[in-house]
Structure 1
Amino acid sequence: MSRLFPSPALPRLRMLCHIALALLWLGLTAGAAPAAAADTVAVVLSERGGVYAEFLDALNAGMAQSPGRRVVRLTGVAAAGEKIDEAELGDASLVLAVGAGAARALARMEGTPPVLSVLVPRLTFERIAAESGRRARPGSFSALYLDQPLSRQLNLLRFALPGRKRVAALLGPESAALAPRLRSAVSRAGFELQMEQVAEEGDIVPALNRLLPATDVLLALPDGLVFNRNTARPVLLTTYRHQRPVVGFSQAYVTAGALAAVFSTPAQMGRQTAEFLRGLPAGRVTLGAPLYPSYFSVAVNRNVARSLGLDLPDEGVLREALEKAGEGE
């Protein structure tokens, strides 16, 4: 009879088992929820639009390749009159400072998550870190530099202008700190260096007239006094009079009349930044040492090359040679 008519306790037992399994499942999923939550990267721009928008578009496209791991959120713009909302930074695992203005503003703020600066040249970043005291707190303030390693610039010179060993460099107030590293890099690369430093724009052409007769090429290095919109024309005219090519650091300078340049575009920097973020562990991070650009372009001004009687390899050939040579710094 018991086999034909089950005990009334059995249905209750089955119900209790179902409830226990449901509670166990809820407990497991509740415990797993924090691990599945996406980390937030707060983004602070120096300005709206232009190169910053180009960078942000490439960053978002790169982050979309692994959705859900990290969420990029535009938090503020460090332009005049716009205040960064510190409360919105608090729940972020990392803050991305895009441009020198954003890096400077975030460096002055206390208690922020780690800050990664991008679209900032090395000398500018080092100056911001020193002035703000951030240099004393390793792991919380780092960068993906905008400018190229000196070894890559010198390799471009080697591949584009083989046989030209005497390098001229003109430094200003911003780039003066580069002098020791420049001497070392030039020596390692097997070049000879002639270098002068100027304190004001009126000193630039006289300094070039002293440097260029004894050298083969001018290596242009980022400096707001020496290479800007006002000085580009006199610098390039002076080098042309001496029949000396200029190896620059931007597409704009090549367009203006430099022979060639190696540089990274905002889109390339956005791509590298996305790859960097995707490779970070979950949660708050400890940043390592700053890095140079992994992706870069080469530009050549063919009209200038013809006027100087030079036959340079194609831009793609030069870029491939630089990629094979590696970073080296």
Structure 2
Amino acid sequence: MFLLLFLVLLASPAYAAKVLIIGDTQFALVSDVVSEIQLGLRTQGKEYATSEIKGRLGAVVEREAAQIVVALGMDALSEAMRLPPSVAVVYGLVVVPPKSGRANITGVYMSPPVSEYVAAIRKYLPSIARVSVVGSPNLVKGLLTSEAAHIDTYHVTSSAELVSTVNRLQGARSLLLLPDTSLLTAQVMANIYLFSFRNNIPLLGISEANVKQGSLFALVFDPKTVSRQIAEKVQAILSGSEAAEISSSPPRRYNLYVNSNTARKMGIAIPDEMLKKAKKVYQ
């Protein structure tokens, strides 16, 4: 009897988990997000580094009898996209919603919709009035909502086209480059900052690093908020909802970073309310 019980336990998945959380956990940001997701779940998820499951995620899912894979980052998401459609995928820590025909998928993307920048300008800096948005067609489509009355949109498909397009915008009131890493190289950004200061056109950043470099302000995703949203989506699927019925979404909250030195050089008055709202103000 003891031997039979031992063989049954040996054949069963060890610490089987309904939820697998995959990501580059050697990085502090990813590790913190994983911890926050775990806190938000009513069932314990099992964590794997992306390098551990590369090329064999399907086998791990089968062994664990997992129902949901949380994929944090593009490498993890690429692995998860190969899973059979019966396995739900919830993504996070990706810039924009992935292009996919996969039905059983939802998640939280990091980049703010253009409407968030327009709302911030209308609230704090109404004199700027309009935003010139430059980006690849896919990002424009994914991040542009209903603020057409306050923006001018320019589609580009290469770094060279991006730079040449921006150089024709000397009359713009402000400039927002959508976050396409294949276009926004270090050399491109150096050229854009030079254009911004020469023409007194504020650049709106997409990261804290951008603000340190000279962007007027940036809206940056809040990791704890994103983690909670991911956990909510996972919990909804565990409770019976289909991933396809749960819309992918941007973060509910952003951290504001402001460069008051850039504002001063461009003659832009930053109201106290905006400075108080900022998580950090670079002088």
TM-score w.r.t. structure 1 length? 0.69
Structure 1 residue aligned with 2:129: 165
Structure 2 residue aligned with 1:214: 171
Larger deviation, residues 198-207 vs 155-164: 198-207
Query: What SS does the aligned partner of 2:107 have?
Result: strand
Structure 2 residue aligned with 1:60: 38
CA contact (8 A) 2:21 2:69 kept: yes
- Flag the 1:158–1:84 CA change in 2: closer, same or farther, 3 A: farther
Query: What SS does the aligned partner of 1:54 have?
Result: helix
What is the aligned counterpart of 1:108 among 74, 82, 89?
82
> In the TM superposition, what whole-angstrom CA distance separates every residue of 1:62-115 from its partner, at most 9, and x where no partner exists?
44xxxxx31111134158x94444343231231101111111111122255200
CA contact (8 A) 2:20 2:66 kept: yes
Structure 2 residue aligned with 1:77: 50
> In the TM superposition, what whole-angstrom CA distance separates every residue of 1:8-66 from its partner, at most 9, and x where no partner exists?
xxxxxxxxxxxxxxxxxxxxxxxxxxxxxx96310111563243223223323444xxx
Greater Rg over alpha carbons, structure: 1
Structure 2 residue aligned with 1:45: 23
Larger deviation, residues 229-238 vs 215-224: 229-238
The answer to whether 1:299 aligns with 2:271 is: no
Structure 2 residue aligned with 1:186: 147
Shift of 1:235: 0.9
Aligned length: 260
> In the TM superposition, what whole-angstrom CA distance separates every residue of 1:206-254 from its partner, at most 9, and x where no partner exists?
322211x221000221112332333222111111110011112222211
Query: What SS does the aligned partner of 1:196 have?
Result: strand
> In the TM superposition, what whole-angstrom CA distance separates every residue of 1:278-314 from its partner, at most 9, and x where no partner exists?
45544x6511121221122111111111211222234
CA contact (8 A) 2:175 2:201 kept: yes
What is the aligned counterpart of 2:137 among 176, 192, 196?
176
Distance 2:129 2:254 in 1: 24
Query: What SS does the aligned partner of 2:18 have?
Result: strand
Distance 1:70 1:166 in 2: 47
Aligned letter for 1:149? P
Structure 2 residue aligned with 1:259: 216
- Flag the 1:143–1:276 CA change in 2: closer, same or farther, 3 A: closer
Aligned letter for 1:286? E
The answer to whether 1:310 aligns with 2:268 is: yes
User: Percent identity over the alignment?
Assistant: 23
Distance 2:124 2:208 in 1: 16
- Flag the 1:214–1:72 CA change in 2: closer, same or farther, 3 A: same
What is the aligned counterpart of 2:200 among 243, 253, 275?
243
Runs of at least 5 residues in structure 2 that lack an aligned partner in the other structure: 1-15, 279-283
Aligned letter for 1:167? V
Larger deviation, residues 246-255 vs 41-50: 41-50
Aligned letter for 2:43? R
The answer to whether 1:156 aligns with 2:120 is: yes
Query: What SS does the aligned partner of 1:97 have?
Result: strand
Distance 2:250 2:237 in 1: 17
Distance 1:198 1:223 in 2: 11
Runs of at least 5 residues in structure 1 that lack an aligned partner in the other structure: 1-37, 64-68, 320-329
